[in-house]
Chain A
Amino acid sequence: MSNNEQSLLSVRNLYKRFDISGGLLDQIKFSGGKFSREITLVKALNNVSLEIKQGETFSVVGESGCGKSTLGRTIMGLYPPNSGEIYFNGDRLDQLSPKEMLPYRSRMQMVFQDPYASLNPRKTIKQTLEEPLKYHNPQMNAGELRDRVEEVLLQVGSDPKWVTRMPHEFSGGQRQRISIARALVVDPEFIVADEPISALDVSIQAQILNLLMDAQEQRNLTYLFVAHDLSVVEHISTNVAVMYLGTVCELADTKLLFEDPKHPYTMALLSAIPRLDGKKSERLKLTGEVPTPINLPTGCVFHGRCPYANSRCIAEIPELKTHSDGRKIACHAVEEERIR
């Protein structure tokens, strides 16, 4: 099998655009005496590359709309990428047909943010949990299915008696346990958890995070974790990628990133975290407006809000470069040693 250094999941130069032009009639524009066709694209992912190792928790952070969910969904094969490559355990996934993708479906699972929307309201918990299991394991008989569902419900700290009940009978925290049970029931190796705790109360968040960490320990699971609560990210992650407008600006070991952020956007983001000890860190304040991913800025996507931007930043896209301490940064100011 793979050694520790081999990646379970690799993403290389991934691009994802959404066409939001609407129907043909919406696309036709009349200007300068001529009709022309106008296509509006949301540039949600722009040249994203990352490697996720077996057994780690890899987190993606960044402001709303920066492409975190799109990244998770594209990796899961829910959106086809426009270009780039996705490898799982060395196998290339992004060009597979739905049928060829099937064997990977049980090895890769997803947990969604909204515990209210992600469970089918008309299915009992038993149906919700047994269906994916049956689908991926047609040979299992009724008794085996029941045992497996019971085992998973116990693992997520739920009562196996819940199986006959409907989602609306449960609280948000209980539903999120069931969503996690649904992901775990097919015994996956990799889980994309997109804001799995954001809709929950603090005391319940702790329960769900513990559950995710326990499951990881027991099954050597690998997570791609999306969260906007940065203190949670700091607590549970091995590595963190910071995204801005569909681009990775910094990617590093969690401790390194939180102790000594280098990219100006990471600095701004981390210095804005409210802290329980009430201490105010020296804030790096951003100016300017967040641009839309429809009209991506030239050069560095962050240049319009960056206090370190110069003319090169406006013209040239900074490359994500690996530094001697292993972290990756895409910033001209860091490369030019204007930021140390």
Chain B
Amino acid sequence: MSSLLEVKDLVIKFGLRTGDVTATTGVSFTIEKGEKLGLVGESGAGKSVTGFSIIVLISKPGYVADGHILFKGTDLTKISSEEMRNIRGNRISMIFQDPMMTLNPVLTIGTQMTETLLAHNPKMSMKEASEIALEKLRKVHIPSPEKRLEQYPHEFSGGMRQRIIIAIALITDPEIIIADEPTTALDVTIQAEIMDLISELCETEDMGFILITHDLAVVASVTENIAVMYAGRIVEKGRTRDVIDNPQHPYTKGLIKALPEGAKGSNRLNQIKGMMPTLTNIPDGCAFNPRCPYVMDICKTDEPSLIQVKGMDTQAACFLCKEEVFTNE
């Protein structure tokens, strides 16, 4: 059986005048039905470009240079744009950080919802489409949805607008939702409400969910699996609880310790020295080596690959981690 989504050795490049730069290398992960995966990392780590490339929406000068994106066994990097249109926004939906990237300010919510639906189901009647739109608005807990269908985006609060975006993303009953910082601009009370809503939907609709965020606490409270990105690479991957309680990669350790919760009673926070490299000056060897407190000689010359850590369910890309050796019994 193939996975719901399998991303294999994804390499994304940007073709710049000065030559190509690599935004992600060797990014691999899978997600199954009903699974929630958190893709975390700091600004510029390559989270958004990874998310966009799954729906083959990476914009020029970016392109997928290598690797595979298998959606139920079909390689999305190989199909025609015609076929992709049938998948994007239909079987795989994406929620963007800025609601205005999805919503058209001059159309009512109702029109926007039914248009999406009719575009993917030409045989559907308008009446049927409106029924479904209503049902989805109810699902995201919008009060008096009949009235709301007639309204324009500016008539909603930020939190409501984000819920409407979720309703639009849901309207075609997608199998996967990819959400890029869906609550970053919102207040914590609304964030909690929206995260509850998405979790509920993953459970009832058996939907796969990829949550892209820089916020480890949100990932901890929502997802069961996590992939930590640094400078275009996945440096650690595993069950969310395992990774947060017992991080293996020095970057993950540093990130968790840098949070106030990681200060362990001390007044001072644990900072990671330096900053993430830009795409044009990624260091040789391990991309994290100039900032790593445990750096060794080998880290400066060789790049560690993601290995299964001995005795754990976690994978990490660090020379300090001992590899689990599997033997055929």
Contact B187 A64 (CB under 8 A): yes
Please tell me if B192 contacts chain A, counting CB pairs below 8 Å.
yes
Contact partner of A231 (CB less than 8 A), chosen from B189, B259, B275, is: B259
Question: Which chain A residue lies CB-closest to B269?
Answer: A206
Knowing A272-B192, A274-B215, A275-B220, say if A202 contacts B187 (CB, 8 Å): no
Complex CA gap A269/B191 in Å reads 11
> Known: A203-B275, A228-B188. Contact between A276 and B259, CB under 8 A?
yes
Within 8 A of B (CB), among A276-330: 276-278, 280, 283, 285-286, 289-290
Choose one: B216, B255, B256, B275; the contact of A173 (CB below 8 Å): B275
B275 to chain A minimum Cβ distance, whole angstroms, is 6
B100 on the interface (CB 8 Å rule)? no
Closest to B274 in A: A203
Contact across chains for A201 and B191 when beta carbons are under 8 A apart: no
Binding-face segment, A1-9, A71-79, A134-142, A207-215:
A207-215
Whether, in the assembled complex, A20 has its beta carbon less than 8 Å from a beta carbon of chain B, the answer is no
Q: Flag the segment in B110-118, B260-268, B312-320 that touches A.
A: B260-268
Q: Return the contact of A278 from the options B159, B220, B276 (Cβ within 8 A).
A: B220
A55 to B282, CA, bound (A): 42
User: How many angstroms from the CA of A276 to the CA of B189 in the assembled complex?
Assistant: 17
A positions within 8 Å CB-CB of B: 63-64, 171, 173, 201-207, 209-210, 213, 228, 230-232, 234-236, 268-269, 272-278, 280, 283, 285-286, 289-290
Offer 26 A-B interface pairs, CB within 8 angstroms, sorted by A.
A63-B189, A173-B275, A201-B276, A202-B214, A202-B255, A202-B258, A203-B275, A205-B269, A206-B258, A206-B259, A206-B271, A230-B188, A231-B261, A232-B260, A269-B188, A272-B188, A274-B191, A275-B220, A275-B261, A276-B256, A276-B259, A276-B261, A277-B261, A278-B241, A278-B244, A289-B160
By a CB distance below 8 angstroms, the chain A residues around B272 are 203, 206
- Which residues on A sit within 8 Å (CB–CB) of B158? 64
**B74 interface residue, CB < 8 Å from A?**
no
A290→B157 contact, CB < 8 A: yes
Q: How far is the CB of A107 from chain B (nearest CB, A)?
A: 25
Bound CA span A333–B160, Å: 29
A274: contacting residue among B42, B195, B269, CB under 8 A: B195
B268 touches A210 (CB 8 A): yes
Which 9 A-B pairs give the minimum distances between C-beta atoms?
Answer: A235-B260, A272-B192, A203-B272, A206-B269, A201-B42, A63-B187, A206-B271, A274-B217, A206-B258
Query: Looking at the complex, which one of B217, B220, B258 makes contact with A203 (CB distance below 8 Å)?
Result: B258
**Cα–Cα distance between A263 and B270 once the two chains are bound (Å):** 33
B9-34: contact bitstring with A at CB < 8 Å (1 yes, 0 no)? 00000000000000000000000000
Expressed in whole angstroms, the minimum distance between the Cβ of A225 and any Cβ of chain B is 13
Chain A residues with Cβ below 8 Å from B189 are 63, 268-269, 272, 286
Instruction: Assess whether B275 is in contact with A274, with CB atoms less than 8 Å apart.
Output: no
Taken together as a complex, chains A and B put the C-alpha atoms of A82 and B286 apart, in Å, by 58
How far in angstroms is the closest Cβ of chain B from A264?
12
B75 beta carbon closer than 8 Å to chain A: no
Point out the residues of chain A lying under 8 angstroms from B290, CB to CB: none
| Chain A hits for B275, CB < 8 A | 171, 173, 201, 203-204
Chain B: residues with Cβ within 8 Å of the partner, total of 41
Which residues of A are found within 8 Å of B244, using beta-carbon distances? 276-278
B218: A residues at CB distance < 8 A:
274
Q: Which of A203, A234, A269, A286 contacts B260 (CB 8 A)?
A: A234
Instruction: Determine how close the nearest CB of chain B comes to the CB of A272; give it in whole angstroms.
Output: 4
* Binary interface encoding of chain B residues 186-224 relative to chain A, with 1 for a CB under 8 A from any of its CBs, else 0: 011101110100000000000000000011111011100
- CB of B171, distance to nearest CB on chain A (Å): 23
Residues of chain B within 8 A (CB-CB) of A236 are 260
CB distance from A295 to the nearest CB of B (A): 14
Determine whether B304 belongs to the interface, using a CB cutoff of 8 Å to chain A.
Answer: no
Pick the contact of B271: A207, A268, A280 (CB < 8 A).
Answer: A207
Contact between chains at B255 and A273 (CB < 8 Å): no
Q: Is B301 an interface residue (CB 8 A)?
A: no
A279 to nearest B CB, angstroms? Answer: 8
Docked CA distance A273–B217 (Å): 9
A276 proximity list for chain B (CB < 8 A): 216-217, 220, 244, 256, 259, 261-262
Q: How far is the CB of A160 from chain B (nearest CB, A)?
A: 19
Map CB proximity to A onto B265-309 as digits: 1 under 8 Å, 0 otherwise. 001111110011000000000000000000000000000000000
Q: How far is the CA of A261 from the CA of B79 in the complex (A)?
A: 55
Q: Which residue of B lies closest to A273 (CB)?
A: B188
- The answer, yes or no, to whether B43 is at the interface (CB within 8 Å) is yes
